[in-house]
């Protein structure tokens, strides 16, 4: 079943486990921001100082390192705010943190900085948060880009609420018992099977994602599994771009062709008024690493069309 594959991919054990001590990592965040500050529970980096504001929201167990290619390409022409959620990339996970607190932090960022209809660019869980903000404050958002992220977790779209809640509770309990070494092995397995195509790159990225808190990751994952934002998609007034990666060796979420995968994503976004779903062939979940140039070109074309 699709849900069995989902759990297997997320919680798989890799052998042997690898060391998680800090080492030189070519994919770590190295671009110095103009400033750093907090917005609610979020840590924020600002890059660039001109053009339309863009808010970059990373996915599960990710930090600013996930956006380095996008920053290099877009910072000369836009003002980018890169957020990191509590519990991710070495940040503490305080009581009350979770998706609701992250959404509130994004809304506070827009209001406190007086951002004029920023574009929210989210990867995975970050894309779900972008949809949540665009539904809650449609007039405050100028665009939404979802990089392999959806308003409902793929594979759970037909589940009744009670089954979704039970799955979420199970996920939270299982991740609460995971120690850092096991979490590091899980991250390596995930990156090698779902994350990116290149195995050496997968191992380096897993070292970065393993810096996140396993229990916090479980909380976010549980909330994501229980969430379904599809009923509110009609409230979004901004143009929505969804990038749907496709790789013929992926063990889950597969469809026969890139176009079929994009059509599936389109069906999960039915109700969004201004929607474009584009396939990205030869890419796994971390599309920004598998196809950086193609992603940046797609982002620029979208932004120039607003």
**Which three-class secondary structure state does DSSP give residue 228?**
strand
Using alpha carbons only, give the angle 162, 102, 227 rounded to the nearest 5 degrees: 20
Of 94, 116, 101, 126, the closest CA to residue 39 belongs to 101
pLDDT > 70: percent of the chain: 91
Q: In this structure, are strands 42-47 and 79-84 parallel, antiparallel, or unpaired?
A: antiparallel
pLDDT in tens, 166-202: 999 999 999 999 999 999 999 999 999 999 999 999 9
Q: What is the pLDDT of residue 249?
A: 72
The number of beta carbons lying within 10 Å of the beta carbon of residue 106 is 29
Q: How many Cβ atoms are within 10 Å of 78's Cβ, its own excluded? A: 22
Calpha distance 282→266 (Å, rounded): 19
Asked if residue 3 has pLDDT above 50, the reply is no
Which tens digit of pLDDT belongs to each residue from 50-63? Answer: 999 999 999 999 99
Nearest CA to 127 among 100, 110, 145, 107? 145
Distance (Å, whole) CA 191 – CA 206: 6
244 within 8 A of 280, measured Cβ to Cβ = yes
Tell me: pLDDT of 11 over 50.
no
| Dist. CA 210–CA 169, nearest whole Å | 22
* Residue for token pair 């759970």: 156
Q: Does the pLDDT at position 84 exceed 70?
A: yes
pLDDT at 135 over 90: yes
DSSP 118: P
Distance, in Å, from the CA atom of 129 to the CA atom of 119, rounded to the nearest integer, reads 13
Mean pLDDT, the chain, whole residue set: 91
Q: How confident is the model at residue 9 (pLDDT cuts 50, 70, 90)?
A: very low
Query: Which parts of the chain fold into alpha helices (H)?
Result: 2-11, 68-74, 99-112, 125-136, 161-176, 180-190, 199-209, 214-226, 258-268, 287-290, 292-304
Give pLDDT, residue 24.
79
> Which of 130-134, 161-165, 264-268 shows the lowest mean pLDDT across its residues?
161-165
pLDDT band of 144, cuts 50, 70, 90: very high
Helix residue spans in 244-304 (DSSP H): 258-268, 287-290, 292-304
The answer to whether residue 17 scores a pLDDT higher than 90 is no
The pLDDT of 279-293, averaged and rounded, is 97
Q: What span, in angstroms and rounded, lies between the C-alpha atoms of 59 and 11?
A: 17
């Amino acid at each position: 079943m699709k849900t069995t594959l989902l759990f297997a991919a997320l919680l798989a054990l890799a052998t042997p486990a690898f060391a998680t001590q800090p080492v030189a990592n070519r994919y770590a965040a190295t671009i110095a921001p103009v400033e750093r500050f907090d917005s609610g529970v979020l840590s924020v980096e600002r890059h660039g100082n001109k053009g339309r504001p863009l808010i970059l929201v990373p996915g599960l167990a990710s930090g600013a390192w996930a956006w380095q290619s996008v920053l290099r390409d877009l910072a000369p022409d836009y003002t980018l705010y890169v957020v990191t959620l509590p519990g991710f990339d070495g940040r503490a996970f305080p009581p009350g943190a979770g998706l609701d607190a992250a959404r509130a932090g994004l809304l506070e960022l827009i209001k406190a900085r007086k951002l004029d209809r920023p574009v929210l660019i989210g990867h995975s869980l970050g894309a779900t948060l972008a949809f949540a903000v665009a539904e809650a404050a449609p007039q405050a958002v100028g665009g939404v880009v979802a990089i392999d992220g959806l308003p409902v977790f793929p594979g759970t779209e037909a589940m009744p609420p009670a089954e979704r809640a039970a799955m979420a509770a199970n996920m939270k309990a299982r991740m609460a018992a995971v120690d850092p070494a096991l979490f590091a092995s899980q991250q390596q397995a995930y990156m090698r099977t779902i994350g990116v195509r290149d195995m050496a790159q997968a191992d380096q990225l897993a070292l970065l994602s393993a810096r996140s808190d396993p229990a916090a990751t479980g909380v976010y994952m549980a909330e994501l599994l229980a969430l379904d934002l599809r009923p509110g998609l009609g409230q979004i007034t901004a143009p929505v771009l969804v990038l749907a990666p496709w790789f013929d060796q992926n063990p889950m979420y597969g469809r026969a062709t890139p176009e079929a995968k994009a059509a599936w994503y389109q069906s999960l976004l039915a109700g969004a008024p201004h929607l474009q779903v584009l396939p990205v062939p030869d890419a796994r979940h971390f599309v920004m690493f598998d196809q950086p140039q193609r992603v940046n070109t797609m982002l620029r074309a979208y932004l120039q069309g607003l």
